Structure 1
Amino acid sequence: MEQFELLMNGMGVVLSGYHIMIMIAGILLGILVGVLPGLGAPNGVALLLPLTFSMEPISAIILLSCMYWGALFGGSITSVLFNIPGEPSSIATTFDGHPLAKQGKAGEALIAAFSSALLGALAGVVLITFLSSYIARFALSFSSPEFFAVFVLAFGSFIGLTKTAPLKTVCSMMLGFAIAAIGMDTVSGNIRLTFDIPDLLRGIDFEVAVIGLFGIGEILCTVEESLVFRGERTRITFKMFFSTILKLPRYWATWLRSTLIGCWMGITPGGPTAASFLSYSVAKRVSKTPEKFGKGAIEGVIAPEAGDHAAGTSALLPMLTLGIPGSATAAVMLGGLMVWGLQPGPTLFVEQQDFVWGLIASMYLGNVVGLIVVLATIPLFAAILRIPFSIIAPIIIIICSIGAFSVNNSLFDVGLMLVFGVFGYFFKKLNYPIAPLVLAAVLGDRAEDAFRQSMLFSDGDLLIFWSNPLVGTLTTMGIAFAFLPLISKLFSKSLGFGSKKQ
């Protein structure tokens, strides 16, 4: 089988002492990012990105992806022990994870969380292994109209599948498009939205925007909350580990259902957070004992963790094959590929086979190594959480500033980071989603180029986006997703669902 041979070649690239050390370092950093509220996987990856500019692309992506896995694992520690989700996608884990910890079953809850997360992540990697080549080959036939239609589908899906107000998602996305338009127009060479500021001629680097939005913005929000964390203590033994593992097969249906939900939400722009909530709600709905949920049901830990990690891994599939990220973290990684001189999309599988299959191989190894590392370091990271946040917050801000400065060695970028930090703070307080902004900022210029090239081919005729069944289907689906909230609202009103109860 071709995929198996390519995977073995990838294993040959990854299996070296240097790359194993990078995996462990990335996972440890990721766990730290995951357990500290105020950071999170997107910001952790963005902070580390400038440090990878001098590395080989395969080493850099292994480091970033392992930090991603570590952050997803780390968020579970805080959710179970402290009832504080280190990651937004870990919120659902708190519903039953912390009640289990209060019952003295913290170790059992953590082992169940990590084991189901590992299996969910591996399912996502298997999906990438066997589907990525086919999707990439199919996408090789794409021209400008098809690529623009894919962008429309990605943007429309974010609007149609959002759990927040669709109008807020649109506003967030519009701001992202405005950020992407700053600087020199790649088609005409005109200068746009620089306001006579020379430092804006090169545009706004997405790393600076992401560090401010996720890092500084989260810090400002977290500072308003409790500065000292207290939680349950735990110690994991081999006996506890094996006894818990032996209990998990009885929940195979919960894991399988949640993994399928996670894979779907990762490929579409639903993301890990939506996957974890949806997995939890479905598990509760089909359970024979739904009254136990929220009081310490082990299924309430397995479901969100399996869905979360399956979605987090699957989100890399559209990013690698089509250049469309399925999550905020995947969007940051997409920008990293561009910085390293790699063009995400179908040609990546032809021109950079060692890179692509080395990354896929590292996903298998990274998640297994991540499980081992996180089980061994739970007490250490639980102790770090008891440090007052008034001490940790300034350290994080300094790291953010260094990361922003290192992008272009410019103090102007540090100022921009602070401006975006204020934006991120108000976005959080007003419940505006940041992921659509990041998506639009990263893909906005590529979507614009594809649109303008299509208009040049067709002499300005918009019907080019319905010129064949493929592009017509993608465009129609994108528009349908964008208007789905409005259609649903009108449909509900027409059936009388929106009327007041008598």
Structure 2
Amino acid sequence: MEELGYLMHGFSVALTGQHILMMFIGVTLGILIGVLPGLGGPNGVAILLPLTFSMEPTAGIILLSCLYWGALFGGAITSILFNIPGEPWSVATTFDGYPMAQKGKAGEALTAAFSGSFIGAFFSVVLITFLAPLVASFALKFGPPEFFAVYLLTFCSFVGMGGGSPFKTILVMMLGFGLATIGMDTITGGLRMTFGFDELLRGVDFLIVVIGLFGIGEILLTMEEGLAFRGKQAGINLKVVLQTWRQLPRYWASLVRSWVVGAWMGVTPGGATAASFMGYGIARRFSKEKDMFGKGSLEGVIAPETAAHASGTTALLPMLALGIPGSATAAVLLGGLMVWGLQPGPMLFVEQKDFVWGLIASMYLGNIVGLIVVLSTVPFFAAILRVPFTIVAPVIILLCAIGAYTVHGAMFDVWLMVVFGVVGYILKKLDYPLAPLVLAMVLGDKAEDAFRQTMLLSHGSMEIFWSNYLVGTITTVALITLMWPVISGLFSKRVKVAEVPA
């Protein structure tokens, strides 16, 4: 198959000394970021992205993607040993991981979590390998109406299927759209919402926003909560690993179900957190050992980790093939590609084959490297958690400030980062999602340009969005997705009424 030939070429690109070094550095930093509560994949990628601007794009994206894989692995360490979720999607892992650690089975729990994570991510990369080129080649037929319909579908999916409050999602999206309009109008050349600040002529850089929202906002929240790390000791040796691996085939059905759930939630913007809870719930429902769940079930550790990592990985599929991120981390990576002068989407597979296939190959290698590193360094990363947070927090804030200053070399950006840090803290306290804000900011100007170009083509007629089967289907699905909470609510009420005895 043609994809296999391209993949082999991708391995030749990824398997160079510099790129292998980037993999190990990225995975190690990612595990550290995943271990420390208050950071996480989107935060780590946002903070370190400015430091990769001087790198060659392939090396930079390999470093950041491997950092993402490492963060996915690292979140399980705090969940199992300390009962503190290192990542939001690691919450479900604490349900059975920490009870296993209390029983002296921390090594087995960690091995099961890392193995489930590897399996979920590996098969998701296989899906990306064969599906992304097909989606990209199909998307080459798109014009402005089709692209706007796809953007609309993405925004509507976050509202209708995001799992949170649709009102809150729409509100933060509006904020993201507003930020995306600041600066010069790409069609008329006029200035918009600069409010007399010369620094805003170039717009608000998405990096400044995400560093503030995720980095500073999380630190403020963590400082308020006053986290103290007290947990169980853990060591993983070859005997424990092999014993745990011998048990995994018993749970093959749970692994398959969790992967399917995670892959679906990654392509649609359900998110890794929702996928982990759904994977855990389905595993418990179909398990032959239901009574063990919540008391230290190996299956209860494998299922959420597999689903979460499948979701986190497949979120990169629409980002590469269509230029539409499926998660907050994918949105940050999308912005990074655009900073490097690369346009994610169908043309990426035509114009930048070395880059895109080198990245896909590095996903395979990065997961293998991540599994090896995390299995061999658990005691070291667990010990880091005993460093007082009063030392860790200033270091993270300093890294955020350096990252923000590096973008344009201006102190204005650092102060802007602080402002968005406070905004991020307030939004999180009020339980507003941040991923839709980042998505709207990254794609807002592109959606606006596509819509205005479409209106110019149709002389202002909205009928163009149903002018052919392709754009009409996408637009209709988008509107159904937007209204899905209402549709599902009405359906549930009708079912309940039907079930009431006469």
Normalising by structure 2, we get a TM-score of 0.98
2:296 is matched with 296
How many Å separate the matches in 2 of 1:219 and 1:498? 50
How many Å separate the matches in 2 of 1:425 and 1:85? 18
Contact 2:162 2:271 in 1 (8 A): no
2:322 is matched with 322
- CA 498–60 in structure 1, closer or farther in 2 if over 3 Å, else same: farther
SS at match of 1:112: helix
1:199 is matched with 199
After the TM superposition, which residues 182-193 of structure 1 pair with which residues of structure 2 at under 5 Å, given as runs?
182-193=182-193
* CA-to-aligned-CA distance 1:452-492 (integer Å, 9 cap, x gap): 00000000001111111111111111111111112333444
| Residue 369 in structure 1 maps to residue 369 in structure 2 | yes
How many Å separate the matches in 2 of 1:454 and 1:143? 9
Greater CA deviation, 484-493 or 53-62? 484-493
- CA 229–314 in structure 1, closer or farther in 2 if over 3 Å, else same: same
* CA-to-aligned-CA distance 1:400-436 (integer Å, 9 cap, x gap): 1111111011111111111111111111111100000
Measure how far apart 1:494 and its partner are: 5.2
After the TM superposition, which residues 35-50 of structure 1 pair with which residues of structure 2 at under 5 Å, given as runs?
35-50=35-50
2:279 is matched with 279
How many Å separate the matches in 2 of 1:281 and 1:35? 25
| Residue 89 in structure 1 maps to residue 106 in structure 2 | no
1:474 is matched with 474
How many Å separate the matches in 2 of 1:404 and 1:43? 13
1:439 is matched with 439
Question: What amino acid maps onto 1:161 in structure 2?
Answer: M
1:416 is matched with 416
How many Å separate the matches in 2 of 1:405 and 1:396? 14
After the TM superposition, which residues 321-400 of structure 1 pair with which residues of structure 2 at under 5 Å, given as runs?
321-400=321-400
Greater CA deviation, 387-396 or 450-459? 387-396
| Residue 173 in structure 1 maps to residue 197 in structure 2 | no
How many Å separate the matches in 2 of 1:38 and 1:294? 25
How many Å separate the matches in 1 of 2:53 and 2:433? 29
1:264 is matched with 264
Contact 2:44 2:67 in 1 (8 A): yes
Contact 2:284 2:290 in 1 (8 A): yes
- CA 498–300 in structure 1, closer or farther in 2 if over 3 Å, else same: farther
How many Å separate the matches in 1 of 2:143 and 2:245? 49
1:208 is matched with 208
Measure how far apart 1:89 and its partner are: 1.3
Measure how far apart 1:90 and its partner are: 1.1
5+ residue gaps in structure 2? none
1:217 is matched with 217
2:73 is matched with 73
Contact 2:215 2:421 in 1 (8 A): yes
* CA-to-aligned-CA distance 1:214-244 (integer Å, 9 cap, x gap): 1111111111223320101011111111111
* CA-to-aligned-CA distance 1:173-220 (integer Å, 9 cap, x gap): 111111111111101111111111111111110010000001111111
SS at match of 2:232: coil
Question: What amino acid maps onto 2:296 in structure 1?
Answer: G
| Residue 61 in structure 1 maps to residue 64 in structure 2 | no
| Residue 244 in structure 1 maps to residue 280 in structure 2 | no
Q: CA RMSD in A?
A: 1.4
Question: What amino acid maps onto 1:481 in structure 2?
Answer: T
* CA-to-aligned-CA distance 1:118-166 (integer Å, 9 cap, x gap): 0110000000111111111100000000000000100000011122211
Question: What amino acid maps onto 1:461 in structure 2?
Answer: S
Greater CA deviation, 141-150 or 224-233? 224-233
How many Å separate the matches in 2 of 1:69 and 1:314? 12
- CA 498–217 in structure 1, closer or farther in 2 if over 3 Å, else same: farther
Question: What amino acid maps onto 2:223 in structure 1?
Answer: V
**Residue-pair matches, total:** 500
2:118 is matched with 118
5+ residue gaps in structure 1? none
Contact 2:163 2:270 in 1 (8 A): no
How many Å separate the matches in 2 of 1:364 and 1:46? 23
- CA 498–231 in structure 1, closer or farther in 2 if over 3 Å, else same: farther
Question: What amino acid maps onto 1:131 in structure 2?
Answer: L
Query: Which stretches of structure 1, 4 residues or longer, exceed 6 Å deviation after superposition?
Result: 497-500
Contact 1:228 1:387 in 2 (8 A): no
Question: What amino acid maps onto 2:345 in structure 1?
Answer: G
Measure how far apart 1:499 and its partner are: 13
Contact 1:77 1:382 in 2 (8 A): yes
Measure how far apart 1:497 and its partner are: 6.5
How many Å separate the matches in 2 of 1:344 and 1:56? 17
Question: What amino acid maps onto 2:177 in structure 1?
Answer: F
| Residue 136 in structure 1 maps to residue 139 in structure 2 | no
1:23 is matched with 23
Contact 2:121 2:310 in 1 (8 A): yes
How many Å separate the matches in 2 of 1:252 and 1:489? 34
SS at match of 1:201: helix
How many Å separate the matches in 1 of 2:109 and 2:22? 29
